[in-house]
């Protein structure tokens, strides 16, 4: 009885893990509702002029030297270039690049 219980428990825990590669592709409904999931550790944030009014520290975007530094950082990192290409963001539109606490990258663009 105990072995049967352990077998059923193991099957219920590891069964969905075996089915995960088949479920890796997002459906159109989940893409529409929740957005596209890229799983690359990069978050792209669109910054428009209307959003700048709400942010208190938005003044760091307007300095051309900071924008050049961010764009140079993107051009040196092939993973960031690939992430931007998947999101259809041109590297010259990048305004700022930050590193998140979990090691991912946050890209602010216009």
Mean pLDDT over 27-47 rounds to: 81
pLDDT tens-digit map of 3-21: 766 666 666 666 555 545 5
For the whole model, what pTM was predicted? 0.62
pLDDT of residue 34: 73
Q: What residue spans define the domains of the chain?
A: 1-35, 38-110
pLDDT of residue 22: 47
> Do 88 and 38 meet the contact criterion of CB atoms below 8 Å apart?
no
The C-alpha atoms of residue 69 and residue 3 are separated, in whole angstroms, by: 61
pLDDT at position 31 over 50: yes
The C-alpha atoms of residue 42 and residue 78 are separated, in whole angstroms, by: 13
Residues paired with 105 in a beta bridge:
42, 99
pLDDT tens-digit map of 66-95: 899 999 999 999 999 999 999 999 999 999
> Do 107 and 44 meet the contact criterion of CB atoms below 8 Å apart?
yes
Q: Which residue has the higher pLDDT, 54 or 64?
A: 64
Give 59's Cβ-side CA count (13 Å radius). Answer: 2
Residues paired with 44 in a beta bridge:
107
């Amino acid at each position: 009885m105990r072995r049967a219980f352990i077998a059923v428990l193991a099957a219920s825990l590891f069964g969905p893990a075996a089915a995960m590669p088949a479920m890796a592709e997002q459906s159109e409904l989940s893409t529409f509702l929740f957005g596209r999931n890229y799983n690359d550790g990069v978050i792209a944030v669109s910054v428009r002029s209307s959003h700048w009014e709400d942010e208190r520290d938005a003044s760091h975007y307007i300095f051309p030297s900071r924008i050049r530094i961010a764009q140079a950082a993107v051009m040196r990192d092939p993973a960031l270039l690939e992430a931007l290409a998947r999101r259809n963001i041109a590297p010259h539109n990048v305004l700022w690049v930050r590193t998140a606490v979990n090691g991912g990258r946050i890209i602010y663009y216009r």
